[in-house]
Amino acid sequence: MRIGLILGDQLTHSLASLRVLDPTCDRILMAEVAAEASYVPHHPQKIALIFSAMRHFAAELRNQGWQVDYHEYDVQSSCSTLLSVVQSYATEFSASAIITTECGEYRLQHAISNAWQQQLGIPVECYIDDRFICSQAEFAQWAQGRKQLRMEYFYRDMRRKTGLLMQGDKPEGGDWNYDADNRKRWNGDPSLPDPIAFARDDIDKTVIKLVTEEFSHHPGNIDTFEWATTRQQALEALAHFVRFRLPYFGDYQDAMAKDQHQLFHSLLSPYINCGLLLPLEVCQAALKAYEDNHVPLNAAEGFIRQIIGWREYVRGIYWLNMPQYAHLNKLGNTRDLPRYYWDSDTKMACMSDAFKTTFDHAYAHHIQRLMVTGNFALIAGIKPEDVCDWYLAVYADAYDWVELPNTLGMVMHADGGYLGSKPYAASGNYIHKMSNYCSGCHYSIKTSTEHDSCPFNSLYWHFIQRHKEQFNGNPRMTMIYRSFEKMDSGKQQAILNRAEYLLSHIDEL
C-alpha cells in the first residue's frame, strides 16, 4: 500500500494525488504539526481555519470510503514535523511509496523533493498541482526571453487560455481591463449587506478550544472567528458574495472605510488558497453573474483579473525565482518593523484600523495591505524580511507563494522592480482620497512639516529623495521628481527634517 499525504492547503477532492491513489488499498495521511503551525506566529484564526477544514475534509474522505490516518495537534507528540509523522505511519503500515501533490511553499517542496526519499527509504512521488490555471513550467515558458514580466500581458494570455470574458479572440466589451472605472470612494451608499454567518459544529468547537489553549501567544483574536470550514460553507460564501457584493466589487475595489473591513470584497482567498474552492469555479460564478446581467462588466472583469491574473502571476514569479527571491533587499532597507505592527497601538488612524481588522479578522483587504501598512513599511524603509514575516503570520490567506511576491515585490520593491515597474509609494493624500480615516486622525492630513503632520506626507518625500538614484530615470516617476524640485528649498528641507525626526521616533507614532 501507498500513503497519500494531503497538506493543509490541499483540501480539494479532485487533488492530483487523490486521483492516482486507490481507496481500496492505499491510505491517506493528514497531520496537524507544530512545525507547520509555528514556523511564523500564525494568527490563531488561520490555524483554526486550517485545522478545522482539515478535520472536516478527513471526515468527508472517510465517508467516501478512504482509510484516513489523521494526526491531531499534540504539543507533547514526538512527531512535530510532517516528515516525522510520515515516517511513523510509513513504518507502521510498511508503505511502498509516498504520494504527494506539489506543495505551495518552496521550503517544504524543497525538503520533500530533495531529502524525503532518502530519509524515508521509499519512493516519494509528487504530482503537479493542477488546481492552478498556469503550471510552473508554462509560466517559465511564458517568461522566457521577456525583458519585463508584465502582469497585464500574462493576464490576457490567461483570458485566452480559459476563454473567460472572451468573444472569440476579442475581450468582452472591447477592452481587456476596466481598472480605470474601479476607483470610487465609498461614502456609505450603496449600503453593505450583512456578512454571512456559519453555525459551528463539534469539530469547529473542539479546534477553536484547542487553538485558544495552545496558540494564545500568537497575535490575533480567536473569539471573532467567522470563517467557513467546509467546502459546502465556502460555496455558500461564494454564492453570498456573488449575489450581494460582486455587483459593486469593481467600483469600490480601492475604497477604504473605518470599521468596515469587507466592503465589497469577497473574503474568499483563504478558501481558494487551502483548496476548499477552486480558482476557476470562482471565476465561472462571477462570469455567470455577468451573463445573467446581475453584475456589470467592470465588476466581473476586475474580480476575474485578480484571480487568473494576479494570483497566477505571483505564483509564477515565486517558483521562477525561489529561493533567492526571498532574500532580495534592493532598496537596502535596515529598519526594524515598528512595534505597532504587532500590538496595533498607534495614533495613525488608517494604520490603527488596518491593524484592528487584521487582528480581529485575520484579514485586511488589498488596499489596506498595499497602500496603508505596506506603503508605510516601504516609505519608512523597513527590512523586507521582517515585513514578509509579518504578512505571512497575520492573514488567514497567507502562504509563502502568494504572500512573498506581493510583499517583497509589489509592496517593498525589494526585487528592484521585477514585479512592478514603479513602487506603490504614496503620501497621505492617497489614503485621504480613498477613505474616511483622516477626519478622525490625531495627525493632520493637510500639512507635512508640523509636529502633528501626517507621517505619510513627509516620509513619502524622504523615500523619493533617498532613492533618487534608483528612480530618477524611471519615466513613470519623472513628474514626481519634478514636483519636489519645484518646491522651495526651505520647504524641501523642512519636509526631510520632519521625516528624519519621525524615523528616529518611529515606534512612537
By CB under 6 A, name the binding residues for ligand DLZ. 7-9, 31-33, 36-37, 42, 47, 50, 103-105, 108, 399
Q: How many CA atoms, within 13 angstroms, populate the side-chain half-sphere of residue 319?
A: 24
Binding ligand FAD by CB under 6 A: which of 12, 17, 162, 266?
266
**Residue (40 or 351) nearer to ligand SF4, CB:** 351
Query: Binders of ligand SF4: how many residues, by CB under 6 A?
Result: 14
Residue 262's CB: how many other CB atoms inside 10 A?
16
In contact, 165 and 308? CB cutoff 8 Å: no
**Residue (89 or 376) nearer to ligand FAD, CB:** 376
Positions of E strands within 316-418: none
How far is 273 from 315, CA to CA, in rounded Å? 11
Pairing state between β 2-5 and 97-101 = parallel
Looking at residues 285 to 344 of the shown chain, list those that interact with ligand FAD (rule: CB under 6 A).
303, 306-307, 310-311, 314
Closest contact distance (angstroms) between CB of 14 and ligand DLZ is: 17
Closest contact distance (angstroms) between CB of 361 and ligand FAD is: 11
Binding ligand SF4 by CB under 6 A: which of 49, 151, 396, 438?
438
Which of ligand SF4, ligand FAD, ligand DLZ, none does residue 498 bind to, with CB < 5 to 8 Å depending on kind? none
Closest contact distance (angstroms) between CB of 351 and ligand SF4 is: 7
Nearest CA-CA partner of 34 in 70, 79, 68: 79
Positions of E strands within 166-222: 166-167, 170-171
- By CB under 6 A, is residue 407 in contact with ligand FAD? yes
Nearest CA-CA partner of 341 in 297, 312, 374: 374
**Residue (222 or 398) nearer to ligand FAD, CB:** 398
Closest contact distance (angstroms) between CB of 457 and ligand SF4 is: 7
* Phi, psi at 235, each rounded to 5°: -65, -35
Which of ligand FAD, ligand DLZ, ligand SF4, none does residue 374 bind to, with CB < 5 to 8 Å depending on kind? ligand FAD
Residue 508's CB: how many other CB atoms inside 10 A?
11
Copy the grid coordinates of residue 28. 491517506
Tell me the residue type at 417: G
Closest contact distance (angstroms) between CB of 28 and ligand DLZ is: 12
> 101: helix, coil or strand?
strand
Copy the grid coordinates of residue 228. 467557513
Which of ligand SF4, ligand DLZ, ligand FAD, none does residue 272 bind to, with CB < 5 to 8 Å depending on kind? ligand FAD
Q: Which residue is nearest to ligand DLZ (CB)?
A: 8
Chain centroid to CA 94:
39
Helix axes 151-162, 136-143, angle to 10 degrees: 130
Interacting residues with ligand FAD (CB under 6 A): 265-269, 272-273, 303, 306-307, 310-311, 314, 365-366, 369-370, 374, 391, 395, 397-399, 402-403, 406-407, 410-411
Interacting residues with ligand SF4 (CB under 6 A): 348-350, 428, 431-432, 437-438, 441, 443, 445, 454-456
